[in-house]
Amino acid sequence: MSVRCQHLLIKHEGSRNPQSRRTGASTAGVGKESARKELEGFLEKALAGDDFAGMCQQRSDCGSFSNGGDLGNFTRGQMQKPFEDASFALKVGEISGIVDTDSGLHIIKRIA
Instruction: Output the pTM of the full model.
Output: 0.96
Which of 62, 64, 87, 96 is flagged as catalytic?
Answer: 62
Whether residue 60 lies in the annotated active site: no
Instruction: Write out pLDDT tens, residues 45-104.
Output: 999 999 999 999 999 999 999 999 999 999 999 999 999 999 999 999 999 999 999 999
Whether residue 56 lies in the annotated active site: no
Amino acid at 63: G
Which of 6, 60, 96, 106 is flagged as catalytic?
Answer: 106
Whether residue 62 lies in the annotated active site: yes
3-state secondary structure 25-94: CECCCCCHHHHHHHHHHHHHHHHCCCCHHHHHHHHCCCHHHHHCCEEEEEECCCCCHHHHHHHHHCCCCC
Residue 78: CB partners within 8 Å, gap ≥ 6?
84
Instruction: Write out pLDDT tens, residues 2-37.
Output: 999 999 999 999 999 999 999 999 999 999 999 999
Whether residue 103 lies in the annotated active site: yes
